[in-house]
Chains A and B, each alone.
Chain A
Amino acid sequence: MAFFLTLPLILLIALLVLYPAFYSMHLATLNKSMQKFVGFANFTFLFKRDTFWMVVRQSCIFAITAVFFKALLGFIVAHFVHNLPAKGQRKWRGMLLVPWVIPPAMSTLAWLWLFDPSYSAFNYTLSFFGVGPVPWLGDTFWARFSVILVNVWYGAPFFMIMYLAALKSVPDQLYEAAAIDGANWWQRIWYVTLPMMRNIIAITTLFSLIVTFANFDIVRILTSGGPLDSTHIFATWAFQVGIQSSDIPLGACVSLFMVPILAVAAIFILRDVSKRGNEA
């Protein structure tokens, strides 16, 4: 009976998750014209491509840097909001969530206009201070900076709201006890807040790492992977190779490379979380 009750969900997952996953694995084992089984030949081909390793490196830089800054900003802002008087807090929470609730394709277009080569509002503003013009999307360093900045802007509110919820669940008695023991501000964070938030930090980091690694829209809209491929990440390069160059098996191969990297991260983080859960 229990099996039949869960059957609709199993079917839904099989249809929307398992089928595409296995289909992409199948595609990755075909030759370019998709007429011949070539086993792991596409993967070994990729291992020999410099551009592929550049994309691996860039995906890691993009995801790790963006997640780090999202977590840091989210943590800081969550503390600010937590310390606001309860009366006005809801208003601030709502406003700070705005970047996260706007569809990224829309908000990234607005960022594109801010970075626009001809009409950049940033460059216009900087010109009053005698700075610039900065080639936001035309120079390797600035292009990487820009895509990470937009990703942080978009994702930080998620961390903020998760951390805020975690902060609110830390019992006040722990802070009171720490204060009696003479703990300063930093010690209270290090010995009380952070240990109490460890699980939520781990889960949000994992979740954000997965989403950031698989990001497509921000890079695609802002730089399309340029200049000189220096902002390509797995998804954008997979799209360029698979769709734009009509090499779907190779594109599938590129996108599948996210799986082992994310699986390793997930195993480590979730193992840590369940270990602490058992200790508790």
Chain B
Amino acid sequence: MSRKTLTRRQFVAATAMSSAALITAPYVRGAYAAGKLSIGFWDHWVPGANKASTDLVNEWAAKEKVEVSIDYITSNNKKLELTVAAEAQAKSGHDILQMPTWWPHAYADQLEPVNDIMEPIIKQNGDVNGTVKYLGQGGGKWLAVPATVGSQIKGPCSRIDLMKKHAGIDVQAMYPAGSAPKADNWTMDTFLKAAEACQKAGVAFGIGLGETTDSVDTAGAIFQSFGAELVNAKGDVTVKTDAVRQALEFYKKLIAVLPPDAASWDDASNNKWLISGRGALILNPPSAWAVAKRDAPQIAEQCWTHSMPAGPKGRFAPFLPYFWGVWAFGKNKPAAKSLLAHLSQPSSIEKFVAASGGYDLPAFANLTKLKTWAEEGPPKGTLYHYPDPHGSQTMSIAASPAPPKIAQQIYSQATLTKLALRYARGETMDQALAWAEGECEGFMRS
């Protein structure tokens, strides 16, 4: 067997030639020259809505030469929250992860600040509401980018016919499609009277008193419209105030005319209540209406989404924003930020809204009048007031303005609904307030 040996001279010549060739060769960019990016998005319940996200990501990936992988993670049984907790614990996982409401604050230390992309996005799309700032900012930094996908308002979805017949309220006249609301009389008192009338007529308002988000969000908006805070922005416990007492008195009257099993309702119960034709009003994003459109079109044709009633301290809408967070331990942060900037472009947002049939809500002031909401139906214009295009209400989240880490405890442990239920079920005002005070003191752990 012959073996050709390489002389020292030959080796030096070959190395020099290779180096020269490499240096002088033109740069050819590979298909995935900008690396890889892994994304965990919330798994949308609207069929086909995930496709809009996939298309937008792929469009960006092709332009930026990034290899992307997307996981759609359901929020059923808190799978999304579990994923956030697990990745934060392992310090490994997706580069971008979608997070609901409180989670950016809960994992603030592990998130990459996104001021550099938020400032131009706000400049382009308009300012964000106070709740988005409250949940998305910490220590003067933007912790995450508000996501259009999944963000929602849980305002009233009323039955046009039943409200007119039993409560004498024309919701379409109050909230006409295409123009500003004429709803000065839509107050908590009117709401309560309508609830009583509808209950008497056998079509009670479907408002839950359970421990899931729909029930908690409703309680939050009602408490806020009375100016009732369990813990104030400074972190002081403010349970024993007149505002809280007033809110509880209102709730007690309301609970008396809600379905008797409302304490066991979950987030699906109010949807079923409306779709089955048993209720005149629920507080929910348009998902119930969308399902009714498929399963009970005669009910869907009578649904009208509009704003909350006003209390003594104003009109507050339960708003639940989602966020896209970039982990500080992520491997491709520049690409992650570039993608989030792309997903926050007005054209991308318009696609998200259209793909979700109007369910998804952008957080930006300039994007509340997209044509999807004006055109969706039947009845046409049913979603016109869903994004609050005329700014008639304050977007809020239950337990705010307490510092987010305390508020998250109040929210996730459903302290507001439990407090209302305790009082309505026979505890004295002092007993109920003492219980809530004890709970809130326990939430002060750091």
Instruction: For the complex formed, measure the closest distance between the CB of B425 and the CB atoms of chain A, giving whole angstroms.
Output: 8
| B259 CB–A CB distance under 8 Å | yes
A127 within 8 A of B: no
Alpha-carbon distance between A137 and B266 when the two chains are bound, in angstroms: 11
Provide the bound-state CA to CA distance between A22 and B266, in Å: 35
Given the contacts A33-B109, A138-B262, A220-B77, A248 and B85 also touching, CB distance less than 8 Å: yes
Instruction: Say how far A254's CB is from chain B's closest CB, in angstroms.
Output: 13
- A144-179 CB mask vs B (1 if < 8 Å, else 0) is 000000000000000000000000000000000000
Residues of the B chain whose Cβ atoms lie less than 8 Å from the Cβ of A239: 78
Assess A228 versus B263: contact at CB under 8 Å? Given A33-B109, A118-B272, A246-B85.
yes
Q: Contacts A244-B81, A246-B408: A224 and B413 contacting too (C-beta < 8 A)?
A: no
Interchain CA distance A225-B103 in the complex, whole Å = 22
Given A31-B446, A247-B445, A226 and B439 contact (CB-CB distance below 8 Å) = no
Of all chain A residues, which has the CB nearest B108? A33
> Chain A contact residues: over half helix, strand or loop, or mixed?
loop
CA distance A226 to B81 in the complex (A): 20
A135 touches B263 (CB 8 A): yes
Stretch at the interface among A4-12, A43-51, A195-203: A43-51
Contact with B along A119-149 (1 / 0, CB 8 A): 1000000000000010111110001000000
Chain A neighbourhood of B273, CB < 8 A: 118
Residues of A within 8 A of B109 (CB): 33
State whether B446 touches A137 (Cβ < 8 A): no
The count of chain A contact residues (Cβ–Cβ below 8 Å) is 37
Which A residues touch B269, using CB under 8 A? 116-118
Q: Which residue of B lies closest to A117 (CB)?
A: B261
Our pick among B265, B276, B409, B439 for the contact of A247 (Cβ within 8 Å) is B409
Query: CB of A238 within 8 A of chain B?
Result: no
A32 at the B interface (CB under 8 A): yes
Instruction: Say yes or no: A245 contacts B413, CB within 8 Å.
Output: yes
Flag A24-41 by CB within 8 Å of B: 1 or 0 each. Answer: 000000011100000000
Nearest-neighbour CB distance to chain B for A215, whole angstroms, equals 15
> When chains A and B are docked, how far (Å) is the Cα of A189 from the Cα of B392?
75
B421 within 8 Å of A by Cβ?
yes
Digitize B402-443: 1 where CB-to-A-CB distance is under 8 Å, 0 elsewhere: 000100110011100010011001000000000100110010
8 Å CB contacts to A: which residues of B262-315? Answer: 262-266, 269, 272-273, 276, 278
Give chain B residues whose Cβ lies under 8 Å from the Cβ of A206.
none
Contact of B211 with A by CB under 8 A: yes
Are A226 and B412 interface neighbours, CB within 8 A? no
Chain B residues lying within 8 Å of A49, measured Cβ to Cβ, are 442
By the criterion CB–CB under 8 Å, are A133 and B413 in contact?
no
Interface residues of A in 211-227 (CB under 8 A from B): 220, 223-227
Interface size on B, residues (CB 8 A): 44
Q: Is B38 an interface residue (CB 8 A)?
A: no
Q: Which of B89-117 contact A (CB under 8 A)?
A: 89, 102-103, 106-107, 109
Report chain A residues within 8 Å CB of B446. Answer: 31-33
In the complex, the answer to whether A226 meets B264 with C-beta atoms within 8 Å is yes
Q: For A112, give the chain B residue with the smallest CB separation.
A: B266
User: How close is A47's CB to chain B, nearest CB, in angstroms?
Assistant: 12
User: Are B409 and A118 in contact, with the CB atoms below 8 A?
Assistant: no
Which of B212, B261, B418 meets A138, CB within 8 Å? B261
Per the 8 Å Cβ criterion, residues 225-247 of A in contact with B are: 225-229, 239-241, 243-247
Does B260 make an interface contact (CB < 8 A)?
A: yes
Closest to A52 in B: B442
Q: Closest CB-CB distance, A23 to chain B, in whole Å?
A: 10
User: Is A250 an interface residue when CB atoms closer than 8 A count as contact?
Assistant: yes
- Number of A-B residue pairs with CB-CB distance less than 8 Å in the complex they form: 100
Residue on B nearest A27 in the bound complex, by CB: B89
* CB pair A118 B103 closer than 8 Å: no
A245 with B408: CB separation less than 8 A: yes
Q: Residue of A at shortest CB range from B442? A: A49
Q: A84 to nearest B CB, angstroms?
A: 40
- CB pair A228–B412 under 8 Å, yes or no, is no
In the bound complex, residues from chain A placing their C-beta under 8 Å from that of B259 are: 117
Query: With A45-B445, A240-B412 known to touch, is A227 a contact of B210 (CB < 8 Å)?
Result: yes
Q: Determine the distance from Cα of A136 to Cα of B263 in the docked complex, in whole angstroms.
A: 10
List chain B residues, Cβ under 8 A from A139: 261, 263
Nearest CB of B to A238, in Å: 13
Closest to A226 in B: B211
| Chain A residues within 8 Å of B77, by CB | 220
Cβ-defined contact, A224 with B412, below 8 A: no
Most buried by B among A45, A223, A239, A244: A244
Pairwise interchain contact A51-B102, C-beta atoms closer than 8 A = no
| Segment 70-86 of B: residues with Cβ below 8 Å from A | 77-78, 81-82, 85
Task: Check A138/B264 contact, CB under 8 A, given A50-B438, A240-B413, A245-B408.
Answer: yes
* Distance in angstroms between the alpha carbons of A146 and B404 in the assembled complex: 35
B305 to nearest A CB, angstroms?
21
CA of A226 to CA of B211 in the docked complex: distance in angstroms? 7
Give the CA-CA distance A137 to B260 in the complex, in Å.
11
Is B211 in contact with A51, judged by CB distance below 8 angstroms? Answer: no
Nearest CB on B from A255, distance (A): 14
B281: min CB distance to chain A, Å: 15
Contacts of A225 in B (CB 8 A): 211
Are A136 and B408 in contact, CB atoms less than 8 angstroms apart?
A: no
Q: Which of B81, B107, B435 contacts A243 (CB 8 A)?
A: B81
| Complex CA distance for A33 and B435, rounded to whole angstroms | 26
Tell me the smallest distance from the CB of B256 to a CB of chain A, in Å: 14
**Nearest-Cβ distance from residue A240 to partner chain B, whole angstroms:** 7
Please judge, given known A-B contacts A118-B273, A227-B421, whether A246 and B264 are in contact too, CB under 8 Å. no
Chain A CB within 10 A, most for which of B82, B106, B261: B261
Supply 5 further A-B pairs (C-beta < 8 A) apart from A224-B210, A225-B211, A226-B414.
A45-B442, A119-B272, A139-B261, A228-B263, A243-B82
Please provide the 6 A-B residue pairs with the shortest distance between their CB atoms, ordered closest to farther. A137-B264, A138-B261, A138-B264, A246-B106, A227-B263, A117-B261
